[in-house]
Amino acid sequence: EFGITRPKGYTVSYHANPEMEKHHFGQTHPMKPWRLTLTKSLVSAYGMPFAMDNYNTRAATYEELNSFHASDYLDYLASAPAEDMPRDIDNPDKEVRFNLGGSDCPLFHGLYDYCSMSAGGSLDAARKICNKQSDIAIAWGGGLHHAKRSEASGFCYINDIVVAVLQLLRCFPRVLYIDIDVHHGDGVEEAFFSTDRVMTVSFHKYAPEIFFPGTGGLDDNGPKSEHNPGAHHAINVPLNDGITDEQYEHLFQTIIGKINEVFRPSAIALQCGADSLAGDRLGRFNLQVQGHAACVEFCKRLNIPMIMFGGGGYTPRNVARAWAFETSIAIDAHKKIDPIIPQHTPWRERFIHDTLFPTLEQILGEPRANRNTQKRLQEIVQHVHEQLRFVTH
Ligand code: ZL4
Ligand code: CA
Ligand code: ZN
């Protein structure tokens, strides 16, 4: 009906599981798996599934999760009682050690299923890229970049990205990880601190003590030991409140363009956290769907096999707009789609404004003050270029 056809000369796969979306972190918790339903509803209303290979993802197995996570952590995650269940005498101890059961990472019903489905989608995406059945694989249910080997953190329990990148490393010599979530991608950075086969780049709001997780300063480039091949392979782009599309796009293209020349990745893992959009419940930036999506388009134009992950995003209508539009970029349909949200879209009224591209005024009323000076952004570019002088292979 909308004339959306399969892209010429390459294949896009879409990995999702509607079961995942039924899980709840708790009444007022910002993370709402339901945003994935809203995204899928928009993707389908535009007819995009016709242009992709669609997979209903399975849950990752214990062994697969064990490729990164410690066994004692996984065992506890698999057996942890939900918050409203009677507690084991032994548990308070482990909950503290594993950072489980607090307000950020609550123990909710079906937690292990939710985590293993998120990782299953990302791992399926990585396998499709590895065996060349897809050129771009989309896993909006993944992107949970804060989880550590033996610790939950910031709404993330299983680091599906690390598990997927480990899979990519079996088939590709070098993987570039890019993270446009408003938070620092600390878990992924840390997991690959000691290898030069993965370069991690995170763009984020940086204000230690005030903004989570507090790491990711400009000088944080991996442990600078002489014997660590991973030194200089962590790149951080610390930003202030209110950055605009124009500034962010320029910074992104300059930095990623240069990294592509120097590091020459054979695959890209792109975390598309949508909490960097204006009007996000937890975010601080002034990005519009257009600016966020321009980053995805820039990566796509590099013509390198790519996984697109989800991540943060706490105003579901904006998350769905961004991820649906970014799906259209993957299938090269973004110039064809009507910005007016189709009449038959389920939950259409949830979008409030009937366009994919509401103006900043529509989203926010008053845009957030921009605290990023051109001078500071120039310093950041300069520092990144200096780090890249150490990168050789
Ligand atoms: C909430 O309303 O900064 C959790 C978390 C639960 C429900 C009711 C409980 C009220 C905001 C956040 C008490 C909430 C106290 N509920 C939360 C240091 C903190 C300790 C916890 O996008 N309090 C911790 C994590 C960040 C902190 C951000 C981003 C993930 C990602 C990838 C993770 N944690 C201070 C906050 C609420 C809540 C309201 C909240 N938590 C906002 N920011 C955080 O990068 C998916
Ligand atoms: Ca980030
Ligand atoms: Zn985030």
For ligand 1, say whether the CB of 156 is within 6 Å of any of its atoms.
yes
φ, ψ of residue 353 in degrees (nearest 5): -95, 140
Q: Is the CB of 274 under 6 A from ligand 1?
A: no
Structure tokens at 40: 């899928």
Structure tokens at 223: 């442990």
Q: Which distant-in-sequence residues (6+ apart) come within 8 Å of 28 by Cβ?
A: none
Length of the chain: 393
The tens digit of pLDDT for each residue in 212-230 reads: 999 999 999 988 877 889 9
Which of 122, 212, 280, 315 best tests ligand 1's pocket when mutated (most atoms within 8 Å of CB)?
Answer: 212
Q: What is the DSSP letter of 350?
A: G
Assign 337 a pLDDT band (cuts: 50, 70, 90): very high
Q: Is residue 89 over pLDDT 70? A: no
What is the C-alpha separation between 87 and 107, in angstroms, rounded? 11
Cα(254)–Cα(324) distance, integer angstroms: 26
Q: What is the ipTM of this complex?
A: 0.99
Q: Does the C-beta of 312 come closer than 6 Å to ligand 1?
A: yes
Show Cβ contacts of residue 366 under 8 Å, excluding neighbours closer than 6 positions. none
Cis check for the bond before 86: say yes or no (omega within 30 of 0). no
The DSSP code for 49 is G
What is the spatial distance between Cα 38 and Cα 24, in angstroms, rounded to a whole number? 15
Nearest bound ligand to CA 184?
2
Q: Is the CB of 181 under 6 A from ligand 1?
A: yes
SS3 of residue 201 by DSSP? strand
- The residue whose two tokens read 């446009």 is 180
pLDDT at residue number 126? 99
Local structure of 234: helix, strand or coil: strand
pLDDT tens for 119-159 read 999 999 999 999 999 999 999 999 999 999 999 999 999 99
> Could you say which of 15, 146, 183, 184 is catalytic?
146
How high is the mean pLDDT of the chain? 96
Q: Which token pair is 110?
A: 């079906």
- Which residue has the least CA distance to atom 16 on ligand 1? 29
Distance between CA atoms of 7 and 332, rounded to whole angstroms? 6
Tell me the longest C-alpha to C-alpha distance in the chain. 60
Mean pLDDT of 13-37: 97
Token reading at 217: 């300063």
For residue 252, CA distances in Å to 91, 115, 199, 237 come to 44, 30, 15, 9
H-helix segments, the chain: 35-45, 62-65, 71-79, 91-97, 111-130, 160-168, 186-191, 245-263, 289-300, 316-330, 360-364, 374-388
pLDDT surpasses 90 at 94? no
Say how many Å lie between the CA of residue 121 and the centre of ligand 1. Answer: 25
Contact (CB, 8 A) for 348 and 321: no
Calpha distance 49→47 (Å, rounded): 6
Q: Which is higher by pLDDT, 62 or 93?
A: 62
* Ligand 1 centroid, distance to 53 Cα (angstroms): 35
Q: Which amino acid is at 118?
A: S
Q: Is position 146 annotated as part of the catalytic site?
A: yes
Does the predicted TM-score (pTM) go above 0.80? yes
Contact in structure between 262 and 170 (CB atoms under 8 Å): no
pLDDT(298) > 70: yes
Contact in structure between 269 and 174 (CB atoms under 8 Å)? no
What pLDDT score was predicted for residue 83? 73
Q: Tokens representing 172?
A: 């590709």
In the reported structure, the alpha carbon of residue 185 is separated from the centroid of ligand 2 by a whole-number distance in angstroms of 5
Using CA atoms, how far apart are residues 251 and 241, in angstroms rounded to an integer?
Answer: 15
Mean pLDDT value of segment 165-170:
98
CB of 177 closer than 6 angstroms to any ligand 1 atom: no
- Residues 199 and 259: their CA atoms lie apart, in Å, by 9
